[in-house]
Amino acid sequence: MAEVHEMTVGVLGGTGAQGKGLAIRWAAAGLRVVIGSRKAERAQDAAREIAEIADGQVTGEDNAGCAAAADVVLAALPWDAHADTLGALREQLAGKIVIDCVNPLGFDKQGPFALDVPEGSAAQQAAALLPDSRVTAAFHHVSAVTLADLSVEHVDLDVLVLGDDREATDVVRELADVIPGVRGIFGGRLRNAHQVEALTANLIAINRRYKAHAGVRITDV
Amino acid sequence: MAEVHEMTVGVLGGTGAQGKGLAIRWAAAGLRVVIGSRKAERAQDAAREIAEIADGQVTGEDNAGCAAAADVVLAALPWDAHADTLGALREQLAGKIVIDCVNPLGFDKQGPFALDVPEGSAAQQAAALLPDSRVTAAFHHVSAVTLADLSVEHVDLDVLVLGDDREATDVVRELADVIPGVRGIFGGRLRNAHQVEALTANLIAINRRYKAHAGVRITDV
Kindly state whether B104 is in contact with chain A, defined as any CB-CB distance less than 8 angstroms. Answer: no
- Over residues B168-196, the pLDDT tens digits come to 999 999 999 999 999 999 999 999 999 99
* Average pLDDT score over chain B: 97
In a domain, residue A217? The reply is no
- Over residues A168-221, the pLDDT tens digits come to 999 999 999 999 999 999 999 999 999 999 999 999 999 999 999 999 999 999
What pLDDT is stored for residue A3 in this prediction? 82
In a domain, residue A218? The reply is no
Question: Which chain A residue lies closest to B201 (C-alpha atoms)?
Answer: A192
CA distance readout (Å), B54 to A92, B10, B14, B47, B63: 61, 16, 14, 10, 22
In a domain, residue A220? The reply is no
Q: Cα–Cα distance between B119 and B36 in angstroms, integer?
A: 25
The answer, yes or no, to whether residue A1 has pLDDT greater than 70, is no
Partner residue opposite B192 with nearest CB, options A114, A187, A192: A114
* pLDDT range class, residue B3, cuts 50, 70, 90: confident
Kindly state whether B201 is in contact with chain A, defined as any CB-CB distance less than 8 angstroms. Answer: yes
- Over residues A123-168, the pLDDT tens digits come to 999 999 999 999 999 999 999 999 999 999 999 999 999 999 999 9
* pLDDT range class, residue A21, cuts 50, 70, 90: very high
% of chain B at pLDDT higher than 90: 97
Q: Which amino acid is at A202?
A: N
For residue B55, give the CATH number of its domain.
Answer: 3.40.50.720
In a domain, residue B137? The reply is yes
In a domain, residue B216? The reply is no
Whether residues B196 and A199 touch (CB distance < 8 A) is answered with yes
Partner residue opposite B195 with nearest CB, options A202, A209, A210: A202
**Number of neighbours of residue A61 by Cβ within 10 angstroms:** 21
In a domain, residue B102? The reply is yes
In a domain, residue A109? The reply is yes
φ and ψ of B78, to 5 deg: -60, 145
Q: Cα–Cα distance between A162 and A117 in angstroms, integer?
A: 17
Domain carrying residue A163: 4-210
Kindly state whether B79 is in contact with chain A, defined as any CB-CB distance less than 8 angstroms. Answer: no
- Give residues with Cβ within 8 angstroms of B109, minimum separation 6: none
What pLDDT is stored for residue A2 in this prediction? 65
* pLDDT range class, residue B1, cuts 50, 70, 90: low
- Chain B positions in Cβ-Cβ contact with residue A123 (cut-off 8 Å): none
A145 class by beta-carbon count within 10 Å (0-12 exposed, 13-18 middle, 19+ buried): exposed
The answer, yes or no, to whether residue B86 has pLDDT greater than 70, is yes
In a domain, residue A69? The reply is yes
Q: Cα–Cα distance between B204 and B202 in angstroms, integer?
A: 5
What pLDDT is stored for residue A5 in this prediction? 84
| Closest of A101, A193, A196 to residue A147, by C-alpha | A101
| Structural domain count, chain A | 1
Question: Which chain B residue lies closest to A114 (C-alpha atoms)?
Answer: B192
Whether residues B220 and A215 touch (CB distance < 8 A) is answered with yes
Query: Looking at the whole model, is its pTM more than 0.90?
Result: yes
